[in-house]
Structure 1
Amino acid sequence: MSTNLLFGEYRRLLDERFRVSIPTELSGSLLGDDGEGILAKERFGALSLWSAARWSEKLDQGVRLVQEKIHAGRLDGRIDEVQRLGRLLSTRHTRVRLAGRGRLVLPEGFREFLGVDAGGEVLVVGAAVCVELWQPQVWFEYVQESMPEFRQLFDQLSA
């Protein structure tokens, strides 16, 4: 798994087959030679593309902890929350593979969550540890809200 951080912002069109081209500057070090990764729903208007190995490691660790708590009886009074987590895990992510020329086919359910129609613009953003796909208006609102905190965030993480 690569430790390179992924940065960059690229404008792409979602074609009539719901494919978006992922720049090799982002996909190469994230997905490796097989082009396989995990596509996840993040927030309405945004999806993220992860290394399958990194995603599985993180998810498996969390699921193991939940299973241990269930077996130990520590979640007995929280069955509704466990079911809610299960539902969200069932719909939140899917395994994907880049097709020819670095194109990612957005599965049904994910393209609706992104909220971009065929022929519409998508912003492909390097988010350090993953690649994100954003509906342009949602991205601009996020940047407008978050940019004033950039210096403080950078200083905290780089200290």
Structure 2
Amino acid sequence: MSAETFITGEVKRTIDDRFRLSLPNEMAEAVTDPAGETILTKERYGCLSLWSAAEWQKRVDVGVNLIKQKVSAGRMEQRWGEVQRLGRLLSTRSTTVKLANRSRLLIPEGFRQFLNVDVNQEVMIVGAAICVEIWNPDAWLETLQQEMPEFNPLFRDLSE
């Protein structure tokens, strides 16, 4: 994703009987590489996100390298449980997926359960500025109810 890309929008789509989902073309293009690959991640229960592979890898590499440096320096001896917990979450949090024709995403099994949506059910696809999110409609509505009152202060804070 380049600095000029700012992904926005909200659309409803239906997951078909094979757990496939057609993304809006402009959103799919913002998060895929030339080979059609993107990173699918578990964000919060009821929400998956799609990231540019290069952007995602850069973010993960920076964090993992810092943790490795701390381990090598002996600064994590009292935090092994937390390091293991992070490793478990990191191991199951994301996967590389390839979009098929018409920007169609096949949602892998472990990610289906996390999204908590059945076949032939609608989902909300939302542009989240730096990634594309796929939401269980109930989780999306709950998130909007919690976060929308904070829109104006957040916008002011980030744009100052």
TM-score using structure 1 length: 0.97
In the TM superposition, residue 95 of structure 1 has moved relative to its aligned partner by: 0.5
Q: Distance in 1 between matches of 2:12 and 2:35?
A: 24
Note if 1:83 corresponds to 2:84: yes
Q: Any stretches of 5+ residues in structure 1 without a counterpart?
A: none
List structure 1 segments (4+ residues) > 2 angstroms apart after TM superposition.
none
- The residue that corresponds to 1:60 in the other structure is 61
8 Å CA contact 2:31, 2:53 repeated in 1: no
8 Å CA contact 1:2, 1:30 repeated in 2: no
In the TM superposition, residue 28 of structure 1 has moved relative to its aligned partner by: 1.2
Note if 1:12 corresponds to 2:30: no
Superimposed CA distance per residue, residues 20-45 of structure 1 (whole angstroms, 9 cap, x where no aligned partner)? 11101211122143221110001000
RMSD: 0.8
Q: Any stretches of 5+ residues in structure 2 without a counterpart?
A: none
Q: Distance in 1 between matches of 2:41 and 2:58?
A: 15
- The residue that corresponds to 1:126 in the other structure is 127
For residue 73 of structure 1, what is the amino acid of its counterpart?
A: G
TM-score using structure 2 length: 0.97
Q: Distance in 2 between matches of 1:33 and 1:67?
A: 31
Q: Distance in 2 between matches of 1:113 and 1:29?
A: 24
- The residue that corresponds to 1:35 in the other structure is 36
- The residue that corresponds to 2:2 in the other structure is 2
Moved more, 125-134 or 32-41: 32-41
Counting only pairs closer than 5 Å after superposition, residues 93-108 of structure 1 correspond to structure 2 as 93-108=94-109
Aligned length: 159
Q: Distance in 1 between matches of 2:77 and 2:33?
A: 42
- The residue that corresponds to 1:143 in the other structure is 144
What percentage of aligned pairs have identical amino acids? 55
In the TM superposition, residue 77 of structure 1 has moved relative to its aligned partner by: 1.1
In the TM superposition, residue 49 of structure 1 has moved relative to its aligned partner by: 0.3
For residue 72 of structure 2, what is the amino acid of its counterpart?
A: H
